[in-house]
Amino acid sequence: MEDLLDGPDDLEPLERPLQPWDTAALLFTSGTTGPSKAVLSSAMHLATMGRVSYPGTHRDDRALIFTPLFHITGMSAVCWALVHGGSFGVITKYSTTTFWEDVLRVRGTFLVMMGSIGTMLNALPPSAAERDTTLRMALLAPMTPDAMAVCRRAGMRYYSVFNMSETSVPLRTGFDPGTPYSCGVPREGVEARLVDEHDMPVPPGAVGELVLRCADPWVMTTGYFRNPEATAEAWRNAWFHTGDALRQGPSGEYFYVDRVKDSIRRRGENISSYEVEVEVQAHPAVDEAAAVAVPSELGEDDVLVVVVPRPGAEIDPAELLGFLVDRMPHYMVPRYVRVADALPRTPTMKVQKAVLRAEGSAAAWDREAAGIRVRREAVR
């Protein structure tokens, strides 16, 4: 740090000029389905991230960061500042109760609103700090109704993207769309497809894994550090495989469905854990929820949902089940419900579903043991 503060004239000269394809950083994946992987990121990859992540911003803006800088959510704001000559402010620990005061202290003008943060902020009563916020724009990941409501309450514009540490914002919506959960459409220079497990295109409207390639070189990762097996798996057949399942709507927009490894197979039906969580979190007593697959004695999977109550609320698993029956297909209704004080999270605020799967259903309420049978039309 002392060398940097002394000024460029005192730095050692480079052995050779840096090139766009030179590895500039190792970023890390979120680690929701297993150990994090180190992502090889070129200078062009990071520069592209800084250029395309935050449309409508300029050098007078200030990015607000409260996620780790070893992951692209935080690092994309640093890349933006380097590309545009802007600034960023860091909140070292996120707190829902002090969030709006922290924003005013840092004077951030835009941020990435991750995961359930929108739900937690929307549950707060309106405040002077919220009304007087310096924030004017939010990237919602995902674009939930709660997160959209927070932006409207605070007078912020909002949009959403699909992105990961390995890519450079391949999908992006316009500002203030009316459709929740959209990831948008491919930006210029990006080609996207949805494919099955054999890399064959899926029919229109069907769920498939998102695969990508770009017209410009070096704008996505070249692979994983010291992990040639994972690199070969991700880049097979000349496309980058995201590991995420999406579907495409009639207008061409892409919608996130689930991590491929987090999808649940029950009674011959594929279930999106993400869609289960959306419906569970609609219950007025539920603050957060995570759905995972657990082994079934009949083969395939059963659905376990882990729920965190809102402050002062209690959750009755049987009542929650009755609430869900009219909101989802019968095969998606969870068999197991476990009430927890909190969900295990990665440093990037994502739920560690591998931990929940490892804990299993042993301590959960079981509707089969309670004698409740879910049929196509009714609960008995």
3-state helix, strand, coil in the chain (%, to 5): 25, 30, 45
What pTM, to 2 d.p., does this model score?
Answer: 0.82
In degrees rounded to 5, what are phi and psi of residue 267? 50, 40
Picking from 64, 63, 66, 75, the residue whose alpha carbon sits closest to that of residue 29 is: 75
Report yes or no: 42 and 21 within 8 Å, Cβ to Cβ.
yes
Say if residue 14's pLDDT is above 60.
yes
Delineate the domains of the chain, giving CATH numbers in brackets. Answer: 2-184 (3.40.50.12780), 263-366 (3.30.300.30)
For the stretch 108-148, pLDDT in tens is 999 999 877 898 899 899 999 999 999 999 999 989 899 99
What element of type H or E holds 308?
A: strand 301-309
The pLDDT of residue 379: 46
For the stretch 275-313, pLDDT in tens is 899 899 999 999 999 999 999 887 789 999 999 999 999
Residue 95: CB atoms within 10 A of its CB come to 11
In degrees rounded to 5, what are phi and psi of residue 261? -75, -15
Buried b (16+ CB within 10 A) or exposed e, 330-367: eebbbbbbbbbeebebbebbbbbbbbbbebebeebbeb
The pLDDT of residue 380: 46
Say if residue 377's pLDDT is above 70.
no
Cα 191 to Cα 181: distance, rounded to the nearest angstrom: 21
For the stretch 42-73, pLDDT in tens is 999 999 999 999 999 999 999 999 988 998 99
Percent of the chain with pLDDT over 70: 97
For the stretch 312-348, pLDDT in tens is 999 999 999 999 998 998 889 999 999 999 999 887 7
The pLDDT of residue 120: 85
Residue 17: CB atoms within 10 A of its CB come to 6
Q: Tokens 């919220």 — which residue?
A: 130
| Cα-Cα end-to-end distance for the chain | 67
Report yes or no: 302 and 295 within 8 Å, Cβ to Cβ.
yes
Picking from 141, 178, 135, the residue whose alpha carbon sits closest to that of residue 153 is: 135
